[in-house]
Amino acid sequence: MVTMSDWIRVENVMQFIEADIRKKTLLKFLKAHHPSTYWHSLRVAYLSLMLARSYAMSEDELERLFCSTLLHDIGKVSVPVEVLNKPGKLSEENWAHLHKHPENGAKLMIQVFANDGVDLDVIRLHHENWNGSGYPFGKKGQNLSLAVRIVRVVDSFDSMTHRRAYNRPKSARDAIQELHAMSDTHYDFDVVRRLHRLFMEHSQDIHGLEHQFNILEAG
Ligand SMILES: [Fe+2]
């Protein structure tokens, strides 16, 4: 049996989704609503898992983190596609929609999963910043769990390195530099440092997996 500690293949990610009708259905819904958020979610989940493995987390904690990260943006099904795809500046009304996605996602997760195998904080708090300047609650620093701090960093990294309606992709190197520059304001310094180290030590694995995701996304 493949465990969370040795996962690295795209097939394992897909098998994990297929094995649970709740995850499968929610992700199918997300993919239909906004395909790029679906692919973003898969990449953020696998990279968060790889990063979380550098901390002393149990198999159960890793699985909860992986499952919650796969669905961290599920609340975006409540955000109109025109807002998600808007290339220019967002209006106040657009921001209001977008700022609700963590809480809407958590509400949806409670309905579907109750508390079964998910960490609702990952969904509710994944846009909170280290210094309290994030949303929706302005929580800060050590009030955010390690899982939340990991997903915050990886979510931003993936958004920086892949094309979005509002930005051009940066190289991994530039994105890591930017994360370092924003450590202690937006991000947990130690998580950024470990992401940097992961890239130095496992760049081939990470690029290989990226490549496999790109093939699936193109198909
Ligand atoms: Fe999000």
Encode the chain (219 residues) as per-residue pLDDT tens digits. Answer: 567 777 778 888 888 899 999 999 999 999 999 999 999 999 999 999 999 999 989 999 999 999 999 999 999 999 999 999 998 889 999 999 999 999 999 999 999 988 788 999 999 999 999 999 999 999 999 899 999 999 999 999 999 998 776 678 899 999 999 999 999 899 999 999 999 999 999 888 888 888 888 888 887
Check: CB of residue 110 under 8 Å from CB of residue 71: no
- State the distance from the centre of ligand 1 to the C-alpha of 21, rounded, in angstroms: 23
- State the distance from the centre of ligand 1 to the C-alpha of 105, rounded, in angstroms: 9
- State the distance from the centre of ligand 1 to the C-alpha of 206, rounded, in angstroms: 22
Q: For 97, phi and psi rounded to 5 degrees? A: -60, -50
- Kindly list the distances between the CA atom of residue 62 and the CA atoms of 65, 72, 77, 208, in Å, as whole numbers in the listed order: 5, 15, 25, 22
- State the distance from the centre of ligand 1 to the C-alpha of 31, rounded, in angstroms: 15
| Identity of the residue numbered 10 | V
- State the distance from the centre of ligand 1 to the C-alpha of 1, rounded, in angstroms: 32
Check: CB of residue 140 under 8 Å from CB of residue 130: yes
- State the distance from the centre of ligand 1 to the C-alpha of 147, rounded, in angstroms: 15
Task: Measure the CA–CA gap between 213 and 98, rounded to whole angstroms.
Answer: 26
- State the distance from the centre of ligand 1 to the C-alpha of 73, rounded, in angstroms: 5
- State the distance from the centre of ligand 1 to the C-alpha of 76, rounded, in angstroms: 7
- State the distance from the centre of ligand 1 to the C-alpha of 43, rounded, in angstroms: 13
Categorise residue 3: left if φ over 0, alpha if ψ from -120 to 50, beta otherwise: beta
Which domains does the chain carry?
A: 34-218 (1.10.3210.10)
- State the distance from the centre of ligand 1 to the C-alpha of 57, rounded, in angstroms: 24
The pLDDT score that the predictor gives to residue 57 is 92
Check: CB of residue 52 under 8 Å from CB of residue 198: no
Q: Report pTM.
A: 0.93
